Amino acid sequence: MRRLTAVAAVLLSAGPALAQFGPGGPPSVGVIAAAKQDVVESTDYVGRVQATDRVDLVARVTAFIQARNFVEGSEVKQGDVLYRLERGPFEADLAAKQAAIAQTQALLKNASITTQRAQSLMNSPAGLVSAVDAARAQEANLVGQLQANQAQLRASQINLDYTEIRAPISGKIGRSALAVGNVVTPASGPLASLVSQDPINVVFPMSVREVISLRNRYAAQGGFSAVQIRLRLPDGKVYGQIGKLDYVDPSVASATDTLTLRARIANPLRAGASGNDIANRELLDGEFVTVTLEGVTPVQALAVPRAAVLSDQQGNYVYVVGADKKVQQRRVTLGQSTPSLAIVLTGLSEGESVIADGIQRVRPGIEVNPSPMAPAPATAPKG
């Protein structure tokens, strides 16, 4: 026991170099110079896919459903006849209105002849002013009645047209609430829902602070046109289409201090899919996705490898090797970093040597043996 104590005393008296480094000398570390690189700024948010248009199909008249001309869950085109209702009563009503117009037109023609005859008799002893006035009044009355009959005819034609329920937009139709043979009325509620498919919207919340930062950062490059939207699907796959921001909610949500942003993105049919296939498009109405907001053009930013950045309760920091080969700890503020590259906003200067390899062997104040590492590749856009 006394011998071990003596050995320890000898090691301590050998100086800090031997105590720190052992017989191998200063630890070897890999360093890389902090340099400005072309990086694409990006930020992730949780968003929800939302159809640009949604329509509930409702009957406008009371009638039996005679036919349903679509497959539930399939895609339909604008103008397609989706439901056919019973037409007989409406066709009969239309014919009655046409007959009433024909009758009124005949009476009006006779009244016009009567008015002309009464006016021609005014120059003879048999002519009476009262007869002319009565004839004119009768003719005017029939003109008004004809106009009323024509309006009723248009109303009957509209009701007849309502017996065909057509698709007001192109999109995917849901389940039918009523089967063929049921009586439907305007109070029956939606028969089915129709949602548009392409293009489609994605909405996501962003804090007011981030919106202001986004506005200031891209104001000189065109504002919204300087950013683009990429999506990551629930299965982790990156969606192939790129979207554009087209709307920012004018009101802040008081509960969360956020604004809702909306992007529009294409949602074409998948390769080899048809309109009747299930999940024939990548994006589905109501689906949760990860929204990545990216700059269209790369920007120059001071960057270091992400592996060189460490964190503790006080924040982020890196180890820097000075000219004396001693390690210094630097507190840094990071920007919109990626898994491979960290964007440094403050705390580091261009050209400083940052330890990126062998970090576990160093601590502030010790001397190291640095060797240069290959620079990290430029950051590619997410996705």
Is a pLDDT exceeding 70 seen at residue 28?
yes
274 and 352 co-located in one domain? no
Average pLDDT over every residue of 162-170: 92
The values of phi and psi at residue 247, to 5°, are -160, 140
- Whether 173 is covered by a domain: the verdict is no
Domain final residue, candidates 283, 299, 315: 299
**Model pTM greater than 0.85?**
no
Interval 288-326: pLDDT, tens: 999 988 776 667 778 888 888 888 888 899 899 888 888
Task: Give the per-residue pLDDT at 200.
Answer: 93
Domain final residue, candidates 278, 299, 320: 299
CATH number (domain holding residue 334): 2.40.420.20
- Whether 289 is covered by a domain: the verdict is yes
- Whether 326 is covered by a domain: the verdict is yes
Is a pLDDT exceeding 60 seen at residue 22?
no
- Whether 175 is covered by a domain: the verdict is no
Torsional class of 15: left (φ above 0), alpha (ψ -120 to 50), beta (otherwise)? left
| Measured distance CA(372)–CA(33) in Å, rounded | 8
- Pair of tokens at residue 356: 């990126």
Q: Which amino acid is at 302?
A: L
Domain range for residue 242?
Answer: 43-52+196-299
153 and 246 co-located in one domain? no
Task: Give the per-residue pLDDT at 374.
Answer: 65
Pairing of strands 369-372, 28-33: parallel
Percent of the chain at pLDDT above 90?
26
Task: Give the per-residue pLDDT at 7.
Answer: 36
Average pLDDT over every residue of 161-182: 91
The domain total for the chain is 3
- Whether 167 is covered by a domain: the verdict is no
**Average predicted confidence (pLDDT) for the chain:** 81
Residue among 161, 162, 173 nearest 78 (CA): 173
217 and 269 co-located in one domain? yes
- Pair of tokens at residue 88: 């007989």
- Whether 83 is covered by a domain: the verdict is no
| Measured distance CA(383)–CA(71) in Å, rounded | 36
